[in-house]
């Protein structure tokens, strides 16, 4: 029963299921598109201004897209109580969590990949700082949302108002990560300051909370 | 037991009134801000007490995760609830102080922002306890409390970095403090801790009673079913 | 009759399970031996499903002790437990083989053996392993049998079934009952919670009647009704 | 609203908040006492 084999198998299963019934991803892609368009109507800044506020807008838009995806994390497992089949098997709980988190990362990254070019077009963005740093930053930031998101999606399964509970539990804890992402993005776009400090914060955040999630997920899974 | 409670209540009343008197009359008036600076003696100690209560909540949650003792769970719940009340005080007195001095209702001051984020985390903690359908709600709450505690240093550094790039006025605590002010601050801190202790004790007794009543009701419905 | 080893497969003593104020299990004492088929009966709310889920390790008891296959630590005995419930516990968008291949991975079946074990399990419930249709499009009877195949995948010593016959046509139900009797003959312990005990009259070794969270009567035949 | 009004407002709010919470606890205690009576 090695850890990686189960993580890989669960991830492959989720990807296959996602690929087979593409309706979930299509609906969310359309939702992300809507969020970007609405943001662009709501704010119509000049080129200079847009560099300053784009960081905040992009990450809030990503947050909306992520929440919608994270709410679906355990939908398939709940449908035919397949989660029980997993819990009865000798497989440990951590690979299930890791596979689900990675699956969510890929899912949300796909949404972001669609939203980013639209943002660049609508806001005529051209980063003055080192533009390439936006890619690792996006991964670090998205993982910060996704790892806690997957964990608290499992916690909110046990509550009454499941869809609203996830943001209530996730957002307060994600404030430091959000502050980090927004400021790092703005630093890169405006090129005035160095994003190093913020990226260090995000790395610390990801390490601390990934560890906490891996250690505590089994406790949550077993809490009937 | 009852006697101990009344002693504490009387002691708290004495401490609070003395601290109130000290804050208004003993402490010297601050040159630049004038009398409004005296909000400091309520604002800062409330924040300290709130952080202490959340620390106890974290410790009790870790103990619950290890030993699953109902006592630790009740202490964690009580400290979270009373902690949120003290946090609310800080979040209300902060802006009331900032308004006359800097003409703004909100400033990203380090302590104020940290209190706001902690308030959000622990309100979500209480919401989780209320909405949870699981038969092991204390377990889920304890896990959230651990996550909340891990978040505190992250919040601290993110605000500290944020403020280095967006300097904003500092509410109290900036620069050296006149020793007499320091002493009055101490009196208020002790008085508020006594108040917190008193409220926590009451809330704890209430929680114990509530759980006992639930138990009794369960037994009662059991007997009724048996009788039928 | 298969030889019944001395140590019981499942020992439950004083099992209590509290859901907030509602006590689902109020002190259950039971022994289940190898090579026997048990049927747990009782009306809704008697605690049948809760007892089964506690034996399966899906629910932690609030009080009392449960020992499965000689060990109290639930992780140790999981490889030897097969669990099936009314919901199919399968992914609707995947075919039977794909489902079983995934669960085989969870049970640590080596990739070389995987195809053979999955095909065997599906064949043992009289289904066609090469059926390309996703499980979502199976009939209820076929889906229950595929779910049974998943439960039997790791050749478990203890098989737990929660309402396996609900809204299944009588022919499939009779077939499944015969199947369960046959695996019981191979020495496994089979525990079934159901509202339709009729199917199992010829096969069951013991009937347990539950009321308000307690086992109130054990009979060897369906006719010996509870008090 | 000169400055000292803000001072009194802040102190008053502090006691208002604590007071409200203690009131909530008192109501909870009363409801509990009624339940205990019902149980007897």
Q: In CATH, what number is assigned to the domain containing residue C10?
A: 3.40.50.300
Q: Is residue C81 situated within a structural domain?
A: yes
Q: Is residue C134 situated within a structural domain?
A: no
Q: How many domains does chain C have?
A: 1
Neighbours of C60 (CB within 10 A): 16
- Contact yes or no for C56 and A16 at CB 8 A: no
Which token pair is B102?
Answer: 């800097």
* B2-170+177-214: CATH number: 1.20.120
| Tens-level pLDDT at each residue, chain C (227 residues) | 444 456 788 898 889 888 877 788 888 898 998 889 999 998 888 889 999 999 999 988 888 889 998 888 788 888 899 999 988 899 999 999 999 999 999 998 888 888 899 998 888 888 888 888 899 898 888 888 899 999 999 889 999 999 988 878 888 888 888 889 988 898 899 999 998 888 888 888 889 999 888 888 888 877 755 44
- Per domain, the residue ranges of chain B are 2-170+177-214
Of B135, B222, B225, the CB nearest to C20: B135
Please enumerate residues of B whose Cβ is less than 8 A from a Cβ of A: 65, 117, 120-121, 123-124, 127-128, 131-136, 139-140, 143-144, 146-148, 150-151, 154-155, 157-159, 161-162, 165
Distance, CA of C32 to CA of C48 (rounded, Å):
15
Distance, CA of C95 to CA of B176 (rounded, Å):
73
Give the residues across from C208 on adjacent strands.
Answer: C40, C218
Q: Is residue C111 situated within a structural domain?
A: no
State how far residue B215 is from chain C, nearest Cα, in angstroms: 7
Closest Cα to residue C40, out of C207, C216, C164, C224? C207
Give the pTM: 0.92
Mutate: best of D14, D34, D40, partner B, most B CBs <10 A: D14
Q: Which residues contact C149 (CB under 8 A, 6 or more apart)?
A: C96, C100, C121, C122, C124, C125, C127
* Tens digits of residue pLDDT in B194-222: 999 999 999 999 999 999 988 888 777 77
Mutate: best of C57, C90, C105, partner A, most A CBs <10 A: C105
Distance, CA of B14 to CA of B16 (rounded, Å):
5
Task: Give pLDDT, residue B173.
Answer: 55
Q: In terms of residue numbers, what domain contains C51?
A: 2-90+155-219
State CA C188 to chain mean position distance. 11
Phi-psi group of C103: left, alpha or beta (phi > 0 → left; psi -120 to 50 → alpha; rest → beta): alpha
Residue of A nearest to B116 (CA): A172
Q: What is the residue-wise DSSP string for A138-204? A: HHHHHHHHHHHHHHHHHHHTTBSSHHHHHHHHHHHHHHHHHHHHHHHHHHHHH-SS-THHHHHHHHH
Q: Is residue C183 situated within a structural domain?
A: yes
Determine whether B145 is exposed, middle or buried from the number of CB atoms within 10 Å of its CB (0-12, 13-18, 19+).
buried
* Tens digits of residue pLDDT in B21-79: 888 888 788 877 788 888 889 999 999 999 999 999 999 999 999 999 999 999 999 99
ipTM field: 0.90
The dihedrals phi and psi of C172, each to the nearest 5 degrees, come to: -65, -40
Q: Is residue C97 situated within a structural domain?
A: no
């Amino acid at each position: 029963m090695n850890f990686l084999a189960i993580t890989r198998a669960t991830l492959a299963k989720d990807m296959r299921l996602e690929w087979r019934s593409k309706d979930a991803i299509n609906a969310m892609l359309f939702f992300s598109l809507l969020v970007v368009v609405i943001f662009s109507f709501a704010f119509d800044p000049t080129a200079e201004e847009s560099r300053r506020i784009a960081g905040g807008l992009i990450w809030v838009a990503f947050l909306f897209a992520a929440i919608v995806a994270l709410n679906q994390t355990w939908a398939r497992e709940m449908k035919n109580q397949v989660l029980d089949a997993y819990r009865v098997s000798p497989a440990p709980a951590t690979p299930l969590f890791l596979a689900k988190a990675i699956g969510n990362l890929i899912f949300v990254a796909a949404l972001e990949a669609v939203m980013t070019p639209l943002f660049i077009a609508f806001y005529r963005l051209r980063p003055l700082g080192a533009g390439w740093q936006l890619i690792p930053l996006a991964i670090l930031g998205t993982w910060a949302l996704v790892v806690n998101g997957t964990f608290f999606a499992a916690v909110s399964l046990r509550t009454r108002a499941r869809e609203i509970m996830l943001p209530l539990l996730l957002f307060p804890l994600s404030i430091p990560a959000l502050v980090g992402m927004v400021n790092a993005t703005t630093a890169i776009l405006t090129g005035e300051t160095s994003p190093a400090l913020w990226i260090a914060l995000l790395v610390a955040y990801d390490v601390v909370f990934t560890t906490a999630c891996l250690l505590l997920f089994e406790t949550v899974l077993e809490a009937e | 037991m009852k006697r101990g409670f009344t002693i504490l209540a009387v002691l708290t009343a004495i401490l609070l009134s003395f601290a109130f008197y000290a804050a208004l009359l003993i402490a010297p008036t601050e040159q630049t801000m004038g009398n409004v600076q005296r909000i400091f003696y309520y604002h800062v100690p409330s924040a300290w007490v709130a952080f202490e209560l959340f620390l106890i909540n974290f410790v009790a949650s870790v103990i619950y995760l290890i030993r699953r003792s109902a006592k630790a769970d009740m202490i964690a719940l009580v400290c979270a609830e009373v902690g949120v009340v003290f946090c609310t005080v800080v979040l209300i007195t902060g802006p009331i102080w900032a308004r006359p001095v800097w003409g703004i209702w909100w400033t990203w001051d380090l302590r104020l922002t940290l209190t706001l984020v902690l308030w959000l985390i622990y309100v979500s903690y209480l919401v989780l306890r209320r909405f949870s359908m699981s038969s092991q709600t204390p377990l889920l709450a304890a896990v959230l409390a651990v996550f909340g505690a891990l978040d505190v240093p992250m919040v601290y550094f993110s605000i500290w970095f944020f403020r280095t790039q967006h300097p904003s006025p500092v509410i109290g605590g900036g620069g050296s403090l006149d020793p007499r002010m320091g002493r009055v601050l101490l009196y208020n801190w002790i008085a508020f801790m006594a108040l917190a202790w008193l409220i926590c004790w009451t809330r704890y007794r209430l929680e114990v009673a509530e759980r006992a009543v639930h138990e009794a009701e369960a037994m009662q419905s059991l007997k009724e079913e048996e009788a039928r | 009759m298969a030889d019944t080893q001395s140590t019981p497969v499942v020992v439950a003593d004083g099992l209590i399970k509290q859901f907030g104020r509602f006590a689902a299990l109020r002190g259950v004492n039971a022994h289940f031996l190898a090579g026997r088929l048990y049927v747990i009966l009782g009306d809704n709310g008697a605690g049948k499903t809760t007892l089964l889920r506690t034996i399966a390790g899906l629910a932690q008891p609030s009080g009392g002790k449960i020992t499965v296959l000689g060990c109290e630590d639930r992780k140790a005995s999981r490889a030897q437990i097969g669990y099936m419930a009314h919901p199919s516990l399968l992914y609707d968008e995947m075919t039977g083989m794909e489902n079983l291949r995934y669960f085989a991975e969870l049970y640590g079946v080596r990739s070389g053996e995987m195809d053979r074990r999955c095909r065997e399990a599906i064949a043992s419930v009289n289904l066609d392993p090469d059926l390309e249709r996703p499980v979502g499009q199976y009939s209820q009877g076929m889906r229950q049998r595929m779910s049974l195949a998943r439960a039997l995948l790791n050749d478990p010593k203890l098989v737990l079934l929660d309402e396996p016959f609900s809204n299944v046509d009588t022919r499939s139900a009779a077939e499944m009952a015969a199947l369960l009797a046959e695996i019981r003959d191979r020495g496994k312990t089979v525990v079934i919670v159901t509202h339709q005990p009729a199917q199992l009259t010829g096969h069951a070794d013991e009937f347990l009647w539950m009321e308000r969270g307690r086992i109130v009567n054990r009979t060897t035949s369906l006719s010996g009704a509870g008090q | 609203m000169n400055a000292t009004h803000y001072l009194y407002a802040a102190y008053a709010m502090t006691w208002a908040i604590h007071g409200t919470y203690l009131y909530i606890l008192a109501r909870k205690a009363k409801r509990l006492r009624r339940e205990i009576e019902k149980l007897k």
